[in-house]
A and B are shown apart, each in its own frame.
Chain A
Amino acid sequence: MTSSHGRGLLHLAAAVDQQSAYDAAPYAELARLAESGGLDFVTLGDSFARPGPDALAVLSRVAPQTSRIGLVPTVTTTHTEPSHVQAAVATLDWVSRGRAGWQLDVSTGEGEARLFGRRHAAPADALWREAGEVADAAARSWDGWEDEVTRPPQGHPVRVVDATEGQARPTAARYADVALVRAANAAQATAVRDQLRGQAVEFGRNPDTLRVLVSLVVDLGDGEHAAEPGHGGGGPRQTPHGPLYRGGPVDLAELIASWHAAGTADGFHLTPVEPRRDLERLVNGTVALLQHRGLFRTFYPGSTLREHLGLPRPAHQYAVSGGTS
């Protein structure tokens, strides 16, 4: 427990993305399953580049059917009006009573630009700078809302950034509460985490206010034994869809416990290959084992996503009377 990484509580999150699902029921079912395992939050991806519903609306629809789990939709900042983003994220925090987060993302494609009547997409690093500015402006705006009646319950809903790509890393280090890192081995994950923490210090942040979660795609369909040599107990491998862990729920628990113990990550964000099957195995297998070993919470001591993550509720940046609105 004296690691320089300040190894704290283990944090777990899961993606609830599903192909061709537009009704609320399949999303609510997965979110409730994740909540039964005490996971910190669920994510739902969103992109103008491929078919799919508006993720923030879907998780708002799920909010009344869940009570504790954090809800983190992807919100793209490139082609959306910043004032709309601020209002929608704050509203998700209200309807969920303090369980909202947002995963900032950018739209780099020409095709996405054409949907909005724009001819050219800007380079990724410029788009990520802009995403950081949107996050910053949102925080200032929420602080400017008069008082406790209109400010979002968490003050600032939790900001999540996928920091795997280099262009996104400065924005993650500066603004993210949670950074996701798609890494296939512990050394790679450690390197990115160290870099993010170092950059956070340069931005004047306490690096312990940044949670770094390793993102893995998980395929738990093969039972306790890895289908291929070198998997399961051997660890994930890189694939075109990101680092993939294939093996049994028990071996996954071993991997999570050992990477966490070594200070590689503050936790894991897991994307099930087969959503219903793998999330069920994750919760009832992997998570149950981690709980049994005392490595993961068995109930939610807090009610907000910030509380689950052990992050303080930000104080007002401005005096109440001097706020802008």
Chain B
Amino acid sequence: MTVRRRKQMCLAVRLPGAGSATAYAGPRATYAGPRGKSPLALPAFEHLARTAERGRFDFLFLSGGPRPEPVTVLSALAAVTERVGLAATVDATRTEPYDLARRLATLDHLSGGRAAWHVATSRDQADRYGRATELVATAQELWDTWTPDGVSRPFAHRGAHFDIAGEFGVPRSPQGHPVVIHAGDSDECREFAASTADVLLGRHGSPEAGRAFYADVKRRLATYGRAPDDLKIMAGVTVVLGDTATGARERELSVRRSVSGAGGGHFLVGTPESVAAELDALVRDDAADGFVLLPYLAPGGLDEFVDRVVPLLQERGAFRTEYTGATLRSHLGLHAPAGKG
């Protein structure tokens, strides 16, 4: 190792939305019972959010809606957590920039600067990346109409997709711009992330494929005048732990049966020690800046990782032992947006 400061990994967890196999395979049994106890009720999410925060995770990420509606769930979770980032999936092919910007700025205020949005696009939409790019840029224009001192200026935006004007109704939020997350690995997706996103969620295949993906995306940033650290690349992984390697393999078989169809990334299977070593190596070898865990047995699935793997990552100096800042941008080591003065 060189003497340079140890690279810190980012960690996040994806909370299952309604309709995903992850949401139903476990909680149906865990939360059996009538109304008020469905997997959509707050306790299921609350447990995962508190566990993520106990593990000092950067953020949690609520996958595709429309049900439950992500910003509404995350606003409630902001009341039961203090530091962990809160990322909402937004369908960029249907959302109007004014309403979206207002709801995200509200979430950023309500959470003290912990809001993020995962910009999702539909495959069947013509020019989906064109609209998504303009949606993000327009939302940021709206946020920039307020100075940090609370002065608002009118805006007028005319582009290929949106032609809007008026005044934005929410003062500048703690982060200025909520964090932009994108997911995928196509060429268009990499380009969009390089130009616009703060975090790119990739799918982790082999370490070699991860390194190639990482290098390719980071190289694209320069085109947009951005530094390699301006975009964090996080790989989706499902971690299956066992006390022994054999025990872990046996659990993996039953997990794969129960989550078939859930999709969700590469399986990392082994003892806490071997999994921690593997995650650490992937970050050190520039295959990823961090990981998004896809817990296979919500809502209990994250506890084991936080209790058994996170301490090992911390011992290695690969992951924070305490939050040092209040906002998600600070957790991720991202610059504050410049804003237009």
- A residues sitting closer than 8 Å to B (CB atoms) are 22-24, 28, 48, 50-54, 56-58, 60-65, 79-81, 83-84, 87-88, 90-92, 94-95, 97-98, 111-112, 114-117, 145, 148-151, 153
Contacts and interface: CB of A to CB of B under 8 A. Distances in A.
A212 B40 CA distance: 32
Interface in B60-113: 65-69, 71-73, 75-76, 78-80, 94-96, 98-99, 102-103, 105-107, 109-110, 112
Contacts of A145: 67
Given A65-B79, A87-B66, A115-B166, A150 B40 contact: yes
B28 to A, nearest CB: 8
25 contacts: A22-B106, A48-B98, A51-B167, A51-B170, A54-B102, A54-B103, A54-B106, A57-B72, A58-B75, A60-B72, A61-B110, A63-B79, A65-B79, A88-B71, A90-B69, A91-B67, A91-B68, A95-B76, A97-B41, A114-B166, A115-B164, A145-B67, A148-B35, A149-B38, A150-B40
A60 B75 contact: yes
Contacts of A58: 75, 106, 110
Given A22-B106, A116-B98, A148-B35, A88 B165 contact: no
Contact of B34 (A22, A28, A148): A148
B69 A88 contact: yes
Contacts of B79: 24, 28, 61-65
**The 4 A-B residue pairs with the shortest CB-CB distance in the complex, in nearest-first order:** A91-B72, A60-B75, A95-B76, A87-B69
Contacts of B169: 48, 50-52
Given A51-B171, A94-B68, A95-B72, A153 B36 contact: yes
B294 to A, nearest CB: 22
Nearest to A21: B109
Contact of A80 (B75, B99, B105, B109): B99
B102 to A, nearest CB: 6
A151 B95 CA distance: 24
B236 interface: no
B41 A94 contact: yes
B275 to A, nearest CB: 33
Interface in B18-41: 18, 34-36, 38-41
A257 to B, nearest CB: 35
Interface string B149-167: 0001000000000111111
B42 interface: yes
Contacts of B166: 111-112, 114-115
B99 A57 contact: no
B76 A53 contact: no
A57 B34 contact: no
B103 A57 contact: yes
Interface residues of B, number: 47
Contacts, number: 140
A115 B102 CA distance: 11
B162 A91 contact: no
Interface string B96-140: 101100110111011010000000000000000000000000000
Given A24-B79, A64-B42, A56 B164 contact: no
Contacts of A112: 166
Among the interface residues B40, B46, B163, B171, which one has the most CB atoms of the partner chain A within 10 A? Answer: B40
B307 to A, nearest CB: 24
B162 to A, nearest CB: 6
Nearest to A23: B109
Contact of A150 (B18, B36, B65, B98): B18
Contact of A94 (B42, B94, B96, B98): B42
Contacts of B78: 24, 61
Contacts of A148: 34-35, 38
Contacts of B107: 57
Among the interface residues B72, B80, B96, which one has the most CB atoms of the partner chain A within 10 A? Answer: B72
Contact of A114 (B65, B75, B164): B164
Given A53-B110, A54-B71, A91-B72, 9 more contacts: A48-B169, A53-B170, A57-B103, A58-B110, A61-B110, A87-B68, A91-B73, A98-B35, A153-B36
Contact of B76 (A22, A64, A98, A117): A64
Contacts of B18: 150
A52 B169 CA distance: 6
Nearest to B108: A22
A90 B35 CA distance: 13
Contacts of B110: 22-24, 53, 57-58, 61
A65 B95 CA distance: 30
A22 B69 contact: no
A117 B72 contact: no
Given A53-B109, A97-B41, A88 B170 contact: no
A237 to B, nearest CB: 31
A97 B110 CA distance: 20
Contacts of B39: 149
Contacts of A114: 164-166
Among the interface residues A24, A50, A97, A117, which one has the most CB atoms of the partner chain B within 10 A? Answer: A117
B171 A63 contact: no
B76 A60 contact: yes
Given A65-B79, A91-B72, A92-B72, A117 B38 contact: no
Nearest to B146: A51
A145 B66 CA distance: 12
B147 to A, nearest CB: 14
Nearest to B173: A22
Contacts of B94: 81
A98 B36 contact: yes
Contacts of A79: 96, 99
Contacts of B164: 114-117
